Amino acid sequence: MVVNVVVLDYGSGNLRSAERALARAGAEVTVTADFDAALAADGLVVPGVGAFSAVMAGLKGVRGDQIIGRRLAGGRPVLGICVGMQVLFAEGAEYGEDGLGHDEGCGEWPGVVERLDAPVLPHMGWNTVQAPEGSVLFAGLDAATRFYFVHSYGVRKFDMPADGGFAAPLVTWAEHGVPFVAAVENGPLMATQFHPEKSGDAGAVLLKNWLGTL
């Protein structure tokens, strides 16, 4: 069965590469900002490049935060990519010329997106990850598998224990100067800090694994 996936178009870049990668993985893909189409799709992909604040502004401009919330309330899958993952957290902190800026995220997970403490930024290129046992996204991939990252900010602490009978999220970590969250699997909500659509065969496996959950 072919599944229908919407790549949410809210003014962020990288839409077409995500569309092509998902199509190669076997999905029927639509790139749109249409509220009803995004709600009705089998899966929703939220890409994102650039600054946290700009991505959140674009997302709210198409009611993307509401779309995400409604889908998750109904147990309908959402996949965030790069800054599309970061905005799922509670808060983003960016250091600019005017000092420390704080921006509110979607708040689906606790945590702050902050600047990585590393000698070279951005973290650009291929890196390995440490996936937990039981991961669905990384099924069939070994510990030496590398994925493509482009970012200077990340989530360095993740504290969301099991609650009310629900299992704690599965968190995958990577390291660039400091450990940071590379992926999260939390029921219908999953996300990656790296770009699976730019990660070659490994990214294709991951996207097929995600499509298999729809």
* pLDDT digits (tens), the chain, 214 positions: 889 999 999 988 779 999 999 999 999 999 999 999 999 999 999 998 888 999 999 999 999 999 999 999 999 999 999 999 999 999 998 754 444 567 899 999 999 999 999 999 999 999 999 999 999 999 999 999 999 999 999 999 998 766 666 678 999 999 999 999 999 999 999 999 999 999 999 999 999 999 999 9
Checking 196-201 for CB contacts under 8 A at 24+ apart, the result is 196/21, 196/81, 196/147, 197/14, 197/17, 197/18, 197/20, 197/21, 197/22, 197/81, 198/17, 198/148, 199/146, 199/147, 199/148, 200/148
Token look-up 């995400």 returns 68
Q: How far is the C-alpha of 11 from the C-alpha of 8, rounded, in Å?
A: 9
Active site amino acids: 82, 195, 197
In 3D, which of 147, 126, 162 has the Cα closest to residue 192?
147
Token look-up 């909500």 returns 189
The pLDDT, as a whole number, for residue 160 is: 74
Q: Between the CA of residue 171 and those of 40, 162, 179, 183, 192, what are the distances in Å?
A: 28, 13, 12, 6, 10
The pLDDT, as a whole number, for residue 101 is: 65
The pLDDT, as a whole number, for residue 168 is: 85
The pLDDT, as a whole number, for residue 167 is: 77
Q: How far is the C-alpha of 65 from the C-alpha of 16, rounded, in Å?
A: 21
Q: How far is the C-alpha of 6 from the C-alpha of 13, rounded, in Å?
A: 15
Q: How far is the C-alpha of 107 from the C-alpha of 125, rounded, in Å?
A: 28
Give me the phi and psi of 89, to 5 degrees please: -85, 175
Question: Which positions ≥6 away from 97 have C-beta within 8 Å?
Answer: none
The pLDDT, as a whole number, for residue 14 is: 76
User: What domains does the chain contain, in order, with CATH numbers?
Assistant: 4-211 (3.40.50.880)
Question: b/e map of 129-165 (b: 16 or more CB within 10 Å)?
Answer: bebeeebebbeebeeebbbbbebbbbbbebeeeeeee
The pLDDT, as a whole number, for residue 42 is: 98
Dump pLDDT digits (tens) for 172-202. Answer: 999 999 999 999 999 999 999 999 999 999 9
The pLDDT, as a whole number, for residue 13 is: 72
pTM, to two decimals: 0.94
The pLDDT, as a whole number, for residue 2 is: 86
The pLDDT, as a whole number, for residue 12 is: 81
CB 75 within 8 A of CB 39: no
Q: How far is the C-alpha of 129 from the C-alpha of 119, rounded, in Å?
A: 19
